[in-house]
């Protein structure tokens, strides 16, 4: 089984231009305004029935519902969450000491419950991205300890366990069904009490939260895929917080309500390298050569993005100085009317416009392009099954684990669980595996950039832009948690 290592304490994650607040920041002991509830508009409806093991895990994390043993701090290092401390026992074993906490169903967060939750995650199919290529077992150790053992040495396991997809739920979450049900079974400051399909969700304050009582009494969530509608809901005081405000709508909001955050998100063109026209490396090269990234950054994103430089963008501050030229690229063929299907989703409002501009650029180069745009939850399974020739994806390169190598392993290796490009290249797999085996900070960064060069050399991915995200926050709201990893949004100090 391939090994994946993540350096947390050695600070492999980037130093960001802006830090984010801790979820425990501010006075969390008061009730806040009597009866005050937060009204939030999210861009992505649940795609997997709010399973914590897939893309929906970040929804739960951002809403303050779920937690893991660890969390990410502003510098990208592992920080205490349900585990208050940990130590490495040997090269494959770590001992985590739990804090006193309860699940939202009233049961105690015990070592046995935590071990069982991690066991369910390890057995999930498909595996959570944070565990792709990793074997993990957990067992209780005394009254407050959880012993976690990996199949291969993993010196930075604490950072892996910060992934939203490794949230700890009570035993009730796993009763009589596949997957896990987070309704009333998590540990965060807000309890998910009701989910209305893909349109809305209701959260109430969990008064016994270990980190202190939240200042908001609850959260009313609306899933609004249309970006213009999200911005409109904020302008008309229908919501207090609106995520992913479209660039085209930014000017319609008061300057004070526009919160711009530098993120590690890169928008890329992924080319299906396993089937269809782009199985031909020379046609992939032709597609890459046809793309003008500056036109996208300045035209579509109106300066709220930088032209694509690589898989890692400017927010990964060490990357640019270590970047290498792509290796092994094929020469470009003439498209000569080759038909391709290009797909993207409209939850991130700029993407359809990006795809439309790409369509024009590809057609100018000689391709004949059919464009498909759907809501993400209606598109994901087809994308992962390789049903499109090309796909425009906005991907946070550090969201799964906080480690820059994680996205390479999950998105671009033969066994990757989020490999929309369907890439399976022995040179890429070798470069990623070698990078995962490096422990020193600078050396691991160098190895990551070598792997990036190998991946870019296949032309299965064409980095387009590196985004800055706009969140709409009403003047009356304070304590919104805007972090570069896009894992947090609401915490104990968020109120209106």
In a domain, 346, yes or no: yes
In angstroms, rounded to a whole number, what is the distance separating the alpha carbons of residues 402 and 166?
Answer: 13
Mean pLDDT over 17-44 rounds to: 58
Percent of the chain whose pLDDT exceeds 90: 71
Q: Can you read off the two tokens belonging to residue 254? A: 């008061």
| More confidently predicted of 486 and 102 | 102
pLDDT in tens, 401-428: 777 888 899 899 999 989 999 999 999 9
In a domain, 297, yes or no: yes
Residue 126's pLDDT is 80
Helix (H, G, I), strand (E, B) or coil at 59: helix
Mean pLDDT over 11-38 rounds to: 45
State the residue range of the domain holding 351: 264-468
Mean pLDDT over 179-195 rounds to: 95
Q: Is the pLDDT of residue 26 over 50?
A: no
In a domain, 343, yes or no: yes
In a domain, 496, yes or no: no
Residue 177's pLDDT is 66
- The CATH number of whichever domain residue 419 belongs to comes to 3.10.105.10
Residue 143's pLDDT is 95
Q: Which of 329-338, 351-360, 439-448 is predicted least confidently?
A: 439-448
Mean pLDDT over 119-137 rounds to: 87
Q: Is the pLDDT of residue 179 over 90?
A: no
In angstroms, rounded to a whole number, what is the distance separating the alpha carbons of residues 51 and 183?
Answer: 10
Residue 49's pLDDT is 83
3-state secondary structure the chain: CCCCCCCCCCCCCCCCCCCCCCCCCCCCCCCCCCCCCEEEEECCCCCCCCCCCCCCHHHHHHCCCCCCCEEECCCCCEEECCEEEEEEEECCEEEEEECCCECCCCCECCHHHHHHHHHHHHHCCCCCHHHCCCCEEEEEECCCEEEEEECCCCCCHHHHCCCHHHCCCCHHHHCCCCCCCCCCCCCCCEEEEEEECCCEEEEEECCCCCCCCCCCCEEEEEECCCHHHHHHHHHCCCCCEECCCCHHHHCCCCHHHEEEEEEEEEEEEEECCCCCHHHCHHHHHHHHHHCCHHHHHHHHCCCCEEECCCCCCCCCCCHHHHCCCCCCCCCCCCCCCCEEEEEEECCCCHHHHHHHHHHHHHHHHCCEEEEEEECHHHCHHHHHCCCCCEEEEEEECCCCCCCHHHHHHHHHCCCCCCCCCCCCCHHHHHHHHHHHCCCCHHHHHHHHHHHHHHHHHCCCEEEEEEEEEEEEECCCCECCCCCCCCCCCCCCCCEC
In angstroms, rounded to a whole number, what is the distance separating the alpha carbons of residues 202 and 9?
Answer: 36
pLDDT in tens, 274-316: 999 999 999 999 999 999 999 999 999 988 899 999 999 888 8
Closest to 483 (Cα-Cα) out of 418, 403, 398: 398
Longest dimension (CA), the chain: 68
In angstroms, rounded to a whole number, what is the distance separating the alpha carbons of residues 370 and 357?
Answer: 13
| More confidently predicted of 270 and 160 | 270
In a domain, 314, yes or no: yes
pLDDT in tens, 343-354: 999 988 899 999
In a domain, 120, yes or no: no
Residue 73's pLDDT is 84
Residue 133's pLDDT is 73
Query: What is the value of pTM for the model shown?
Result: 0.75
Q: Is the pLDDT of residue 13 over 70?
A: no
In a domain, 287, yes or no: yes
Phi-psi domain of 99 (left: phi exceeds 0; alpha: psi -120 through 50; beta: other): beta
Residue 134: pLDDT band by 50, 70, 90 thresholds? Answer: confident
Q: Is the pLDDT of residue 4 over 50?
A: no
Mean pLDDT over 91-118 rounds to: 97
Domain total in the chain: 1
Residue 16's pLDDT is 35
Residue 129's pLDDT is 81
Mean pLDDT over 196-224 rounds to: 96
Q: Is the pLDDT of residue 19 over 80?
A: no
Element containing residue 116 per DSSP (H, E): helix 111-123
In a domain, 420, yes or no: yes
């Amino acid at each position: 089984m391939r090994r994946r290592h993540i350096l947390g304490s050695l600070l492999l994650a980037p130093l960001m231009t802006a830090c984010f607040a801790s979820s425990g920041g501010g006075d969390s002991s008061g009730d806040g305004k009597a009866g005050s509830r937060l009204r939030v508009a999210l861009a992505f409806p649940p795609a997997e029935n709010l399973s914590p093991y897939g893309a929906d895990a970040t929804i739960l994390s951002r809403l303050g519902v779920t937690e893991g043993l660890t969390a990410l701090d502003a510098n990208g290092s592992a920080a205490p969450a349900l585990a208050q401390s940990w130590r490495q026992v040997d090269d494959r074993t770590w001992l985590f000491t739990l804090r006193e906490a309860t699940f939202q169903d009233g049961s105690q967060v015990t070592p046995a419950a935590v071990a069982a939750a991690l066991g369910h995650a390890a057995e999930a199919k498909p595996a959570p991205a944070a565990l792709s290529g990793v074997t993990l077992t957990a067992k209780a150790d005394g009254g407050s300890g959880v012993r976690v053992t990996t199949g291969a040495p993993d010196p930075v396991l604490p950072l892996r366990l910060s992934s939203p997809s490794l949230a700890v739920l009570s035993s009730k979450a796993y009763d009589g069904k596949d997957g896990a049900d987070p309704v009333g079974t998590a540990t965060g400051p807000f309890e998910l009490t009701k989910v209305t399909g893909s349109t809305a969700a209701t959260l109430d304050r969990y008064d016994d939260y270990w980190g202190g009582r939240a200042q908001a009494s609850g959260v009313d969530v609306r899933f609004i895929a249309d970006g213009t509608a999200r911005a409109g809901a904020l302008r008309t005081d229908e919501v207090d917080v609106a995520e992913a405000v479209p660039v085209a709508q930014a000017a319609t909001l008061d300057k004070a309500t526009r919160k711009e955050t530098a993120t590690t998100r890169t928008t890329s063109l992924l080319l299906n390298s396993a089937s269809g026209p782009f199985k031909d490396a020379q046609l992939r090269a032709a597609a890459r050569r046809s793309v003008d990234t500056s036109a996208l950054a300045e035209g579509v994103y109106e300066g709220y993005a930088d032209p694509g430089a690589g898989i890692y963008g400017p927010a990964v501050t060490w990357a640019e100085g270590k970047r290498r030229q792509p290796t092994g690229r094929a020469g470009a063929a003439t498209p000569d009317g080759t038909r391709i299907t290009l797909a993207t989703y409209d939850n991130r409002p700029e993407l359809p416009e990006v795809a439309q501009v790409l369509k024009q650029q590809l057609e100018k180069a000689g391709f004949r392009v059919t464009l498909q745009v759907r809501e993400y939850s209606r598109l994901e399974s087809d994308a992962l099954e390789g049903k499109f020739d090309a796909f425009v994806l906005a991907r946070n390169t550090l969201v799964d684990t906080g480690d820059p190598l994680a996205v390479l392993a999950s998105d671009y290796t033969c066994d990757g669980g989020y490999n929309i490009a369907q890439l399976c290249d022995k040179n890429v797999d070798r470069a990623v595996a070698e990078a995962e085996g490096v422990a020193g900070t600078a050396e691991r960064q160098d190895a990551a950039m070598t792997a990036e060069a190998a991946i870019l050399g296949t032309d299965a991915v064409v980095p387009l832009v590196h985004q800055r995200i706009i969140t709409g926050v009403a003047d009356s709201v304070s304590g919104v948690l805007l972090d570069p990893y896009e894992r947090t949004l609401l915490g104990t100090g968020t109120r209106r």
